[in-house]
Amino acid sequence: MRLCVKQNLTYLKKMINFHNTEIAFSGKTNQELKKSLRLFKMIGKPLLVKIGNPLLSFANLIHFPIGWIVKPTIFSHFCGGENIEECEKTIQMLASKNVGTILDYSAEGQDDEASFEHTKTQLLQIIQKAKENKDIPFSVFKTTGLARLALLEKVNAKEKLTENEIIEFENIKKRIHEISSLAHQFDVPIFIDAEETWIQNPIDEIALEMMRTYNKEKTIIYNTIQMYRHDRLDYLKEIIEIAEKENFHLGFKIVRGAYMEKERERALKQNYPSPIYENKEKTDQAYNESLSFCIEHIDRIAICAGTHNEESSAHLVNLLEKAKLPSNFHKVYFSQLLGMSDHISYNLSALNYNVVKYVPFGPIKSVLPYLIRRAEENTSIAGQTGRELMLLKTEIKRRKDL
């Protein structure tokens, strides 16, 4: 069975050819290509990232100006701008390649009510902007941008809340209702990002409450499932039973999961079984299985495959074809992050698949943790950076040889 799937994927990869660099980099000038090459070469050096990241964090902490070094380099590669207006150029550039934008307000590490209210206001503005712009088909939020982490952790652990905490938790739900209600009113679907397991239960419960309320006619609210968790296939099956019984629509962004090391470390330290599959193969298999399951239930579920994995993207293409669904079927999207895996995004969009890019934005100071994660994630030459470098070099050579 596995062999058969593998053969299909090989066949499809030939058909799609994610490695067509002419299409993949058609949005970049020669100068921009060389700039990306320099950046990936730089963040591909583990020692530089190891020293550079804490230095940047420290400089940020003591309010040392870092904008002049960060903005023209790593920020301009991975982010749309410091505010919504600055993202306009990126939105237009992506739209010219048939790729949509998801404006991702990336302020992290906030922990007070005033910041949560500020994030909520930003989200309402993004939804308003998306309503007026067909090139922004979704919006997104992280619950920790709207809620105190320690409180989510307490709710997750089913600890007794104080009276004030009960009010605080109700306020979080009110904020999320306000955002979801506007998304519903303006017909702008919204993703709720997935986070660490020790805060994910309340996020799932709120997401389910929003889906019950706002997904009556179609999918507006999408939760995210992380397929590196070995309980998520069962969760998916459980949720579909609820949705069928109560007759509402489901939406899922499907990802592998971003917090593997943290999850494993905590499980080891606190002596409970790790919630993550023991190896990558099992995560990959579960990821592809979840896509198959969702396509089997496509009358009830809308999905977005948030992945930079070529095989999983090809698997979804294969599933659409097998189900005889058109490439731009409105319930199936592919998504990658700005500045990463353009070869997947643009080669899919050139074949009329629905593709959206996460475009993070925000003040440099607040976006820095996101950028540091991107640098760390891309630091292995064997992984993503190796692939990006190889593709960039191929395209530079192809253009030279013309």
Ligand X SMILES: Cc1cc2nc3c(=O)[nH]c(=O)nc-3n(C[C@H](O)[C@H](O)[C@H](O)COP(=O)(O)OP(=O)(O)OC[C@H]3O[C@@H](n4cnc5c(N)ncnc54)[C@H](O)[C@@H]3O)c2cc1C
Residues that bind ligand X (CB under 6 A): 193-194, 224, 226, 228, 255-260, 276-277, 279-280, 283, 306-309, 335-337, 358
SS3 11: helix
| Spatial contact of 238 and 208, defined as CB atoms under 8 Å apart | no
Q: State the nearest-atom distance from the C-beta of 287 to ligand X, in Å.
A: 7
Closest distance between ligand X and the C-beta of residue 163, in Å? Answer: 32
SS3 category, 339:
coil
Q: Indicate the residue among 255 and 371 with the shorter CB distance to ligand X.
A: 255
Whole-number minimum distance, CB 61 to ligand X, in Å? 25
Q: Supply 172's token pair.
A: 């979080």
* Cβ distance to ligand X smaller for residue 214 or 358: 358
- Residue 246's alpha-carbon distances to 114, 155, 216, 239, 250, in angstroms, are 37, 25, 10, 11, 11
State which residue has the least CB distance to ligand X: 306
What tokens were used for 343? 């070869």
- Return d(Cα 205, Cα 176) in angstroms, integer: 12
To ligand X, the closest distance from the beta carbon of 221 in angstroms equals 14
Grouping H, G, I as helix, E, B as strand and the rest as coil, residue 328 is: coil
Of 60 and 143, the one with the shorter C-beta distance to ligand X is 143
By beta-carbon proximity to ligand X, the closer residue of 21 and 288 is 288
CB atoms within 10 A of CB 205: 13
Query: Both tokens of residue 267?
Result: 């499980």
CB of 292 to ligand X, least distance (A): 16
- Residue in the structure block whose two tokens are 């606190």: 270
Q: Residue 394 in contact with residue 59, Cβ under 8 Å?
A: no
Q: Report the nearest approach of ligand X to the CB of residue 68 (Å).
A: 29
Name which of 74 and 276 has its Cβ closer to ligand X.
276
Tokens at 224, concatenated? 């995210």
CB of 58 to ligand X, least distance (A): 26
Which C-beta is closer to ligand X: that of 75 or that of 191?
A: 191
Compute φ and ψ for 93, nearest 5 degrees: -60, -45
> Which of residues 194 and 243 has its CB atom nearest to ligand X in the complex?
194
The dihedral region occupied by 357, where left means phi > 0, alpha psi between -120 and 50, and beta the remainder, is beta
